């Protein structure tokens, strides 16, 4: 096993050339360097935000290799290797390991609504096929199953590689239950609500906001480790304003195109999304108006973090 993972890991977008024709590697290198410069300790590629379902096998292999090679050990690289077909998930996981990834994030088999035995056998096959640390991903909104704490505990105690979970059920109390059921072995990472999740015992964060506000969304997790709740709230309260603007009239995963549009507004254009997700271009004036409302929030967060760090430096 590698050294323990901790901190705020950006679950990244995948950059595309115009029309989504290809992955844009020039844009990707600049984006990765920006993440490092902002102090991001790790990234997770090919997750939900990374549109993993739109990536073909040839693109996957090239993208994982290019990411690992360009990062060159400057931060942790985890790869989403989930698939509804168990042998394919095993193959993706082994491939990520062979290409030098540091860990995996894996949701249960989606679409089929698998039983707990089927979920267990899926993760067992992956653990038998590779040696990397595995972060379970509990997201009942996309996988169609909600892994209960008892099952997570069973997986944790059965497989040494399974020591992390992104808990995105939106049930904050689940964090404590997982820690109890796993005899304290499982590291629960927040999928939302950092302040509340850390107070319940979370010890990491899978962070979609890192695509456009990486510095602030790294800092408030650092402060959560120190139980600096007022400072955490100072950032989280602004992040909630992004959520309110993005979710008005949009489906649960309508955020991908905005993540990319806001990355561009931050100086790192990464293209638009691939279908069937709604493209930012198709939103027209509505999308541009919403981004115009969020750019000042990005600037506000910079000021908030500067003020908190300035106050801290003055006190030392």
In tens, the pLDDT along 141-179 reads 888 999 999 999 999 999 999 999 999 988 889 999 999
Residue 192, pLDDT score: 86
- Is 203 within the bounds of a domain? yes
Which of residues 35 and 255 earns the better pLDDT score?
35
Q: How many domains does the chain have?
A: 1
| Dist CA 105 CA 166 (whole Å) | 8
**Nearest alpha carbon to residue 63 among 46, 44, 48, 49:** 46
Average pLDDT estimate for 20-49: 98
Residue 287, pLDDT score: 92
| Dist CA 226 CA 216 (whole Å) | 16
Active-site annotation holder among 137, 164, 209, 258: 137
Is 209 known to be catalytic?
no
User: Quick check: 298 pLDDT over 50?
Assistant: yes
- Is 3 within the bounds of a domain? no
Using CB atoms within 10 Å of the CB of residue 237, give its burial: 0 to 12 exposed, 13 to 18 middle, 19+ buried: exposed
- Is 1 within the bounds of a domain? no
Average pLDDT estimate for 29-33: 98
Report in angstroms the alpha-carbon separations of 294 from 8, 88, 262, 289, 299: 22, 39, 8, 9, 9
Residue 40, pLDDT score: 98
What residue ranges in 76-235 does DSSP mark as E strands?
Answer: 76-80, 103-106, 134-138, 162-167, 187-190, 205-207
Give me the percent of the chain exceeding a pLDDT of 70.
Answer: 97
- Is 256 within the bounds of a domain? yes
Active-site annotation holder among 122, 164, 166, 205: 166
Report in angstroms the alpha-carbon separations of 139 from 92, 109, 111, 165, 277: 20, 11, 12, 10, 18
**Could you identify the residue written with the tokens 């992390």?**
164
Give me the percent of the chain exceeding a pLDDT of 90.
Answer: 91
Using CB atoms within 10 Å of the CB of residue 270, give its burial: 0 to 12 exposed, 13 to 18 middle, 19+ buried: buried
Domain range spanning residue 138? Answer: 8-315
Report in angstroms the alpha-carbon separations of 104 from 134, 162, 208, 216: 5, 10, 17, 25
- Is 2 within the bounds of a domain? no
**Nearest alpha carbon to residue 182 among 199, 206, 201:** 201
| Dist CA 148 CA 152 (whole Å) | 6
pTM: 0.96
- Is 162 within the bounds of a domain? yes
Average pLDDT estimate for 4-25: 97
Q: What is the pLDDT of residues 91-130, one digit of tens each?
A: 999 999 999 999 999 999 999 999 999 999 999 999 999 9
Average pLDDT estimate for 194-200: 96
- Is 107 within the bounds of a domain? yes
User: Quick check: 256 pLDDT over 90?
Assistant: no
Average pLDDT estimate for 193-210: 96
| Dist CA 156 CA 164 (whole Å) | 8
* 20 CB-near residues (< 8 Å, 6+ apart): 54, 271, 272, 273, 274, 275
Residue 1, pLDDT score: 47
Q: What is the CATH number of the domain that holds 32?
A: 3.20.20.70
Is residue 171 within 8 Å of residue 154, measured between CB atoms?
no
List the single range of 6-20, 46-60, 251-265 with lowest mean pLDDT: 251-265
Is residue 242 within 8 Å of residue 215, measured between CB atoms?
no
- Is 266 within the bounds of a domain? yes
| Dist CA 122 CA 159 (whole Å) | 12
């Amino acid at each position: 096993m590698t050294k323990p993972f901790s901190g705020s890991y950006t679950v990244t977008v995948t950059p595309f050339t115009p029309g989504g024709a290809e992955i844009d590697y020039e844009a990707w290198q600049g984006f990765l360097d920006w993440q490092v410069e902002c102090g991001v300790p790790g990234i997770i590629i090919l997750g939900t935000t990374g549109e993993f379902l739109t990536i073909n096998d040839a693109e996957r292999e090239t993208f994982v290799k290019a990411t690992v090679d360009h990062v060159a050990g400057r931060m942790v690289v985890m790869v989403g290797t989930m698939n509804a077909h168990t042998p394919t998930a095993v193959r993706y996981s082994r491939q990520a390991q062979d290409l030098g990834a540091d860990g995996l994030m894996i949701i249960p088999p989606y679409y089929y609504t698998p039983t707990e035995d089927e979920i267990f056998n899926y993760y067992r096959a992956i653990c038998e096929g590779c040696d990397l640390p595995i972060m379970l991903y509990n997201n009942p909104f996309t996988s169609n199953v909600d892994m209960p704490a008892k099952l997570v505990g069973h997986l944790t105690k059965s497989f040494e590689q399974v020591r992390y979970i992104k808990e995105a059920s939106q049930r904050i109390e689940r964090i404590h239950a997982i820690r109890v059921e796993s005899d304290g072995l499982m590291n629960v990472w927040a999928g939302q609500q950092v302040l509340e999740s850390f107070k319940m015992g979370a010890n990491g964060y899978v962070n979609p906001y890192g695509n456009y506000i990486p510095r602030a969304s790294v800092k408030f997790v650092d402060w959560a480790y120190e139980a600096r709740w007022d400072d955490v709230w100072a950032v989280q309260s602004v992040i909630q304003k992004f959520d309110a603007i993005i979710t008005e009239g949009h489906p649960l995963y309508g955020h991908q195109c905005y993540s990319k549009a806001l990355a561009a507004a931050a100086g790192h254009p990464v293209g638009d999304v691939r279908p069937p997700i709604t493209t930012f271009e198709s939103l027209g004036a509505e999308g541009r108006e919403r981004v115009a409302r969020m750019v000042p929030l990005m600037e506000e967060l910079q000021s908030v973090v500067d003020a908190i760090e300035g106050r801290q430096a003055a006190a030392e």
